[in-house]
Structure 1
Amino acid sequence: MAERSHITGGEAVVRALAAHGTDLVFGIPGTHNLELYRHLGRYGIQHLTPRHEQGAGYAADGYARTTGRPGVAVTTTGPALLNIAAAVGQAYSDSVPLLVISPGMPLRHPRQSTGLLHEMPSQTEAFRHIAAFSHRVSSVAEIGVAVARAFTLFQSGRPRPVHIEIPLDLLETAEPAGEPRVAPWTAFPRPAPQAVAEAAAVLGAARRPALILGGGARGASDAARALAKRLGAPVVTSANGKGVVPESHPLSLGVALHSPAVQKWLTDRDVVLAVGTELAESDLWSGPLTLNGTLIRVDLDPAQMYAGLPADLALVGDAGEVLRDLLAAVAQCPGDDTPAAVAQLRAARDPESASRDARWLPFLTVIRSVLAPDAVITSDSAQACYYGALPHLPVDPPGRYLHPTGFGTLGYALPAAIGAKAACPERQVVALSGDGGLQFSVQELGTATQLGLPLPVVVFDNGGYGEIRDEMTARGDAPVGVDLPSVDLPALARAYGGHGARVTTPDELAAALRAALTTPGPTVITVPEAVSESVPEEADR
């Protein structure tokens, strides 16, 4: 496409996105961003319209987690931008490359309020505290610089969300823009050879090693599996690390950092190698781990070496590169752990929550049996997801499990599934949610219908906010505000142009899920749960 000396700010935004390979944006047109929308088709960028900006943010998040490429969302000013704030907070918590672009007040807008439509004191100040940075540009030429800055962050460090604000008068103004700026490819940091050698020597001498893998290890699946085998080291993951190594592997403990039995076992390890994980309360569901052995941490973010549990040995760099270096340097480990020992630990772990989790297991088993190995599963902050699917629905590296960890937003599963399906229409994508969480973003059933691709949404219905109900009961309080009137969610899906079913047995769920995977549009499948009167064993989740 021939370059012109003067282009509008709206075109400069779209041109910069196209230069970085953006092929799809999520957003809602508004009075102040129409000049940007004018140019999307000209630059070959597709657009999907969610029903709420929070849904746009979660959809872009799901797109990013599934593809490994940045997700892009466009809002208009004021309330629209604030609507996406929760999704930006979730992306920050889970290290997701999310770019949010919005108009802002005009360049020379007075600080004194004038009552301009969608006016607020400072959008950039608001987002500076929830994103990696918020950049307000002051010229058309600066737009390309700001977008390149965002993509440089995404590909050279710990990926986190970015907000770029374009003054609304600048969107319509034609100015010199120069050649498109493209983020340079930069090498990840790499630990010094002597640091790798020291860590390899410690690992090679370990008799009771363990691996903890987080979301930062996702690109290191093969190396992590090979290193675990060489060390004879069992592997436990965080929620974001789910499926980095096959959960069917004999050395895998799956998502079990929250298990008291596994935490006690980790205390006794002489060496723990933690890769791409914060070891945070949201991973542990409790206070900090107590480790008596040497802690080796591998992370792209140097700050993680001092967060939570400080590293005894710190290896700053890309997880895949560092683990491959360790694999080349470490000798065969005389570790005592065997698959039989891991099986014994699993046997000690599972009874801790057996009575609580039993209601979900038969349904999760059939979900796994129906889905393809490379299926993408999204989940919500729902009991059936963090108590049920995270530890009990196995995922291997070809698939993905997307969960809103840390920030813990509700309403993530459905729009994230839309983003994943839009990114990979040929792959199976299934959303898991609860009735309370789904209703935070249930309007996105309209978006899923518009997308026109098969998208099952399995909803475990416990009559409201089950976790908070259980916490109130555990405190000895009478439940208040947690019991929601029953909603016919399958009928609501049909009202949006989708499909719905209500099942009560695993066999019925299997049949409904198989049908939903080949039926265009969303299919909401509800699984009613009996509301338990008992206090859960881990009511402080």
Structure 2
Amino acid sequence: MTLHTFDILARAFVQEGTGACFALMGDANMAFATRLSETGCRMIYVRHEHCAVAAAMAYARKTGEVGLATVTCGPGLTQLMTALPAAVRARIPLVVLAGEAPLKAGWYNQAIDQAPFVTATGAAYHSLHWPARMPTAVRDAFLQARREGRPVVLGVPFDLQELPWTGSETLPEPAHRLHVQPRPIPPNPDDLQDAVRAVDSANRVVVMAGMGAVEADAAQACRALAERCDGLLATTLPARGLFHDDPFCVGIAGGFSTEVAREMFAEADLVIALGASLARHNADGGALWPKARVLQIDTDPVAVSQGRVAADLHLRADARLGAEALAEAIRPRPADWRSDALATRIRTEPADSAQFPPEDGLHDPRDAVAALDAAIPSDWQLVNSSGHCSYYVAQMPRRAYENFLTIREFGAIGNGISFAMGTGVAHPDQPVVLFDGDGSLLMHVQEIETILRHGLNILIVVLNDGAYGSEIHKLRAEGLSDAGAVFGPTDLAAIARGFGAAGQRVDDLSDLPGLISQFQGSGRAALLDIPISDRIMSPVIRRSHGKG
């Protein structure tokens, strides 16, 4: 059999050890994708190119591997323009093999200058036009993606892919053997003393962990630091659940903070941020901790983040080593803030106590999420999408970080079903529950067919308000017509059944345990359509558009 360049490319990708590739085939990548499958990589063939990259993002986050996707040239590549910046901002390493138009053609209807599209998103783009170097370029792409924490797109003209291979069949050393694993950075002693003085002079301390703390395995060190300084614990939204079983964790820091958390942050005079980028939403634009100084412990500390001064003090260190060194150096304090009464409040008080009049036939989304939280087994994988309803689903404080996925850095809806697919491929032995809004799900509802075809064990739970939730509340608050954001209650259960999945409208929340048990016993994808009121506004919207 004649060996082609696409054969060698497939071998180069497989030896990088990535266990799955999310693909949509076209002329410029179908030979490569076919060989990749035959060489041993699990292929998930999606219905939209955006979903390939979005699913690869979730797979990478859940496995720690470099995510892999492949699309064709031209329109296949341009469909990635929403997924790529989301991966860049979430610092998720991906490699995408995209076809390019054939070099031999004088004209090709799908030809486009692809590099500017990709680089505009913050991702890297490399055109591979010399076949003999392609295996090395693949290896280098995996190295770059992991080192820089962002997507790398490789453009390969498909006429070059089809050329007979005339080079060596010996592949270069794979990236996973060459990738530099730097040892954790300990804090500088002088900087540590500055941090100690800041902690010793503070009265109310919150220890807040981000994804850097997750990656550094710093959870226990953060707990010890908070206990030693009589402080409370919190996390950024992506790291939610890291301290799910700690009685003094107030939950998410940011726009999704609970009422108790906001009250405690308002009392704080020092926030110790470990491995957190201190994004604008994390600090709720600066309103969350109005009296507190911020001490950032990070391997790459910054003074300004997203246009605002984010931290007052900096300790350059690995999150775990920094927390351990600081805990050892400060004076221990007796428990004062960490009282039994506060632990009871954290455990029992609702995230949002606002009252809204009931509506016949419609559920309060807070009641729906509480019922779901009680009914869903604790060891299932949960995926939270974006949009108005995502606030409510984030309020599941007893769910561990390892079983909960949230990626929201670009603020785009429509990603939920892709994230669920990536999570399902990463954790084939655990059921996956996707929480989504109707507007978000309808953007890529076609992927229900992908879920069924690949046998992914996913339960889709839709909080259905018949509208784009954030938009209707903002429009109404501004006294504007909401007509352009309301489209009525689509029968999503019927749509699911049309694809061949189980579909059920949930009119009585007491039915949820039985419906979830049915899904668990079936081993087949299902959708639960929960009609919710469009009159209940999340506290995020109430704070920003409170005059409504």
Report the Cα distance in structure 1 between the residues aligned to 2:50 and 2:311, rounded to whole angstroms.
36
CA offsets per residue over residues 402-443 of structure 1, 9 Å max, x none? 223231111212121111111111112100011111001100
**Do residues 369 (structure 1) and 359 (structure 2) align?**
no
CA offsets per residue over residues 10-69 of structure 1, 9 Å max, x none? 233322322221111001111111231232134311101111111112211121122122
**Do residues 448 (structure 1) and 451 (structure 2) align?**
yes
How big is the shift at 1:528? 0.7
Which residue is equivalent to 1:149? 140
Give me the CA root mean square deviation: 3.1
Report the Cα distance in structure 2 between the residues aligned to 1:420 and 1:475, rounded to whole angstroms.
38
Contact 1:209–1:231, Cα closer than 8 Å, also in 2: yes
- With over 3 angstroms needed to count, the CA separation of the structure-2 counterparts of 1:350 and 1:455, relative to structure 1, is closer
SS in 2 for 1:29: coil
1:167 to 157, 164, 169: 157
SS in 1 for 2:471: helix
How big is the shift at 1:162? 2.1
How big is the shift at 1:182? 2.2
1:289-368 mapped onto 2 (5 Å cutoff): 291-303=290-302, 308-333=308-333, 336-339=336-339, 340-341=341-342, 343-344=344-345, 350-351=351-352, 353=354, 355=356, 359-368=364-373
1:383 to 357, 380, 388: 388
2:243 to 229, 245, 260: 245
Which residue is equivalent to 1:278? 277
Which residue is equivalent to 1:190? 185
Report the Cα distance in structure 2 between the residues aligned to 1:436 and 1:58, rounded to whole angstroms.
17
- With over 3 angstroms needed to count, the CA separation of the structure-2 counterparts of 1:288 and 1:29, relative to structure 1, is same
Contact 1:8–1:170, Cα closer than 8 Å, also in 2: no
Q: Which stretch has the larger CA shift, 409-418 or 309-318?
A: 309-318
Which residue is equivalent to 1:77? 73
Report the Cα distance in structure 2 between the residues aligned to 1:533 and 1:293, rounded to whole angstroms.
32
**Do residues 100 (structure 1) and 96 (structure 2) align?**
yes
1:188-267 mapped onto 2 (5 Å cutoff): 190-194=185-189, 195-200=191-196, 202-203=198-199, 206-219=202-215, 220-246=218-244, 248-258=245-255, 259=257, 262-263=261-262, 265-266=264-265
Contact 1:493–1:523, Cα closer than 8 Å, also in 2: yes
- With over 3 angstroms needed to count, the CA separation of the structure-2 counterparts of 1:140 and 1:302, relative to structure 1, is farther
Report the Cα distance in structure 1 between the residues aligned to 2:246 and 2:347, rounded to whole angstroms.
13
Report the Cα distance in structure 1 between the residues aligned to 2:365 and 2:537, rounded to whole angstroms.
16
Report the Cα distance in structure 2 between the residues aligned to 1:147 and 1:205, rounded to whole angstroms.
52
**Do residues 412 (structure 1) and 415 (structure 2) align?**
yes
CA offsets per residue over residues 149-188 of structure 1, 9 Å max, x none? 333344445x222222222232223243553242223215
SS in 2 for 1:55: helix
SS in 2 for 1:514: helix
Letter in 1 for 2:159: D
Contact 2:295–2:314, Cα closer than 8 Å, also in 1: yes
How big is the shift at 1:338? 0.7
Report the Cα distance in structure 1 between the residues aligned to 2:397 and 2:349, rounded to whole angstroms.
18
SS in 2 for 1:180: coil
Alignment: residue pair count? 528
Report the Cα distance in structure 1 between the residues aligned to 2:333 and 2:139, rounded to whole angstroms.
45
Where in structure 2 are there 5+ consecutive unaligned residues?
Answer: none
1:39 to 32, 35, 41: 35
Report the Cα distance in structure 2 between the residues aligned to 1:354 and 1:234, rounded to whole angstroms.
28
- With over 3 angstroms needed to count, the CA separation of the structure-2 counterparts of 1:153 and 1:320, relative to structure 1, is farther
* Identical-pair percentage: 26
Give the TM-score, by structure 1 length: 0.88
How big is the shift at 1:79? 1.0
Contact 2:14–2:36, Cα closer than 8 Å, also in 1: no
Letter in 2 for 1:299: D
Where in structure 1 are there 5+ consecutive unaligned residues?
Answer: none
**Do residues 518 (structure 1) and 521 (structure 2) align?**
yes
Letter in 2 for 1:369: A
Report the Cα distance in structure 2 between the residues aligned to 1:278 and 1:87, rounded to whole angstroms.
20
Which residue is equivalent to 1:49? 45
Report the Cα distance in structure 1 between the residues aligned to 2:153 and 2:301, rounded to whole angstroms.
23
2:494 to 491, 509, 514: 491
CA offsets per residue over residues 204-248 of structure 1, 9 Å max, x none? 5543111122233223323223332333221222221211111x4
Report the Cα distance in structure 2 between the residues aligned to 1:280 and 1:514, rounded to whole angstroms.
39
How big is the shift at 1:255? 1.7
2:17 to 14, 21, 39: 21
Which residue is equivalent to 1:67? 63
How big is the shift at 1:96? 1.9
SS in 1 for 2:364: coil
Q: Which stretch has the larger CA shift, 235-244 or 181-190?
A: 181-190
CA offsets per residue over residues 73-119 of structure 1, 9 Å max, x none? 1101111112122111221222222222201234577xxxx540311
Which residue is equivalent to 2:530? 527
- With over 3 angstroms needed to count, the CA separation of the structure-2 counterparts of 1:144 and 1:540, relative to structure 1, is farther
Contact 2:435–2:461, Cα closer than 8 Å, also in 1: yes
Report the Cα distance in structure 2 between the residues aligned to 1:417 and 1:329, rounded to whole angstroms.
43
Report the Cα distance in structure 2 between the residues aligned to 1:154 and 1:197, rounded to whole angstroms.
36
Give the TM-score, by structure 2 length: 0.87
- With over 3 angstroms needed to count, the CA separation of the structure-2 counterparts of 1:50 and 1:521, relative to structure 1, is farther
CA offsets per residue over residues 287-314 of structure 1, 9 Å max, x none? 5655544422133444576554343332
Report the Cα distance in structure 1 between the residues aligned to 2:157 and 2:327, rounded to whole angstroms.
51
- With over 3 angstroms needed to count, the CA separation of the structure-2 counterparts of 1:115 and 1:302, relative to structure 1, is farther
Contact 1:66–1:400, Cα closer than 8 Å, also in 2: no
Letter in 2 for 1:411: G
How big is the shift at 1:267? 5.0
How big is the shift at 1:485? 3.8
Report the Cα distance in structure 2 between the residues aligned to 1:172 and 1:300, rounded to whole angstroms.
45
CA offsets per residue over residues 309-347 of structure 1, 9 Å max, x none? 343332345434443444454453456421433555788
- With over 3 angstroms needed to count, the CA separation of the structure-2 counterparts of 1:217 and 1:135, relative to structure 1, is same
Report the Cα distance in structure 2 between the residues aligned to 1:522 and 1:55, rounded to whole angstroms.
18
How big is the shift at 1:446? 0.3
**Do residues 126 (structure 1) and 117 (structure 2) align?**
yes
Contact 1:456–1:524, Cα closer than 8 Å, also in 2: yes
**Do residues 86 (structure 1) and 82 (structure 2) align?**
yes
Report the Cα distance in structure 1 between the residues aligned to 2:503 and 2:155, rounded to whole angstroms.
40
- With over 3 angstroms needed to count, the CA separation of the structure-2 counterparts of 1:238 and 1:40, relative to structure 1, is same
**Do residues 117 (structure 1) and 112 (structure 2) align?**
no
Contact 1:228–1:235, Cα closer than 8 Å, also in 2: yes
Which residue is equivalent to 1:269? 268
